[in-house]
Amino acid sequence: MEKNEIILAVFMLTLLAILIAGFLLFIFIWYRKKRNNYLQEKAFAEISYKKELLQTQLEIQEQTFKIISEEIHDNIGQTLSFVKLNLSTIKTDDNIISAKITESNELLNKTIHDLRDLSRSLNPGFISDIGLANAIKQQLQLLEKTGRYTVVFTAEGTEYKNDPQRELVVFRVIQELLNNIVKHAVASVITTTIQYQPEQLVISVKDNGNGFDIENKSAAAHKSLGLRNMYNRMKLVNGSMQITSARGSGTTAIIRLAKDSFSLLKK
């Protein structure tokens, strides 16, 4: 009888230990699951916050560009047109003065034309009108007109349209890349290729400037506000950007944008 009681006691203690272990395991699993859910929700909230913040910045920037575009078109361009008209009404028999007036008219014509191109490039709606490839080509032509650069532009594949907001973000990134070339690269040739591949749009921008040592400067470069903004913008529209460079061999930026993928800018 005593032996049976001992066996029963051992059995009960074992059962109790199993129940306690099971309970503790349940609590541990429940806690881990709850913690993981919390971390996921926190990460999602941070991503959503960054998305909303960047989108707000983009909207403010595009609204500012639109206002500047309208100001250039409606006021500055119109004023220069009036100046040109006034010059054309001046009559003189002095050959030197006449030549100066003609030269001034030609300069005004070029300025008005360049301002119109600048106005169009700042207006968010112009990409939908002329297409992304033509918009990029126009930016390169503006640089070529300065006489400082030789530009090479190639478009491959059958052109297709992505979401207008996504294309606008890509265009602004291209503008920023070109601006960096002008400010830092000390380049003379800019080669741009846009490839309309079946699954993605690939755009490469290459210069023959001084370049930089990726191994030594990539960390600092990635931390720079301009580059960080470009990387973030491409992530926002489900795209990517990769930069390669070598000292004395120029820099190449490759942008990839998935075709017809969901745009995070859409509501």
Q: How confident is the model at residue 259 (pLDDT cuts 50, 70, 90)?
A: confident
Average pLDDT of the segment spanning 224-238: 81
212: closest CA among 179, 180, 256, 254?
A: 180
Average pLDDT of the segment spanning 71-80: 66
Q: Is the pLDDT of residue 202 over 90?
A: yes
Average pLDDT of the segment spanning 226-240: 84
Residue 108 has a pLDDT of: 77
**Architecture category of domain 149-266 in CATH:** 2-Layer Sandwich (3.30)
Domain assignments of the chain as residue spans, ordered by start: 1-123, 149-266
Average pLDDT of the segment spanning 24-45: 78
The pTM assigned to this predicted structure is: 0.62
CB 228, CB 236: distance < 8 Å: no
Q: How confident is the model at residue 253 (pLDDT cuts 50, 70, 90)?
A: very high
210 CB-side CA count, 13 A: 7
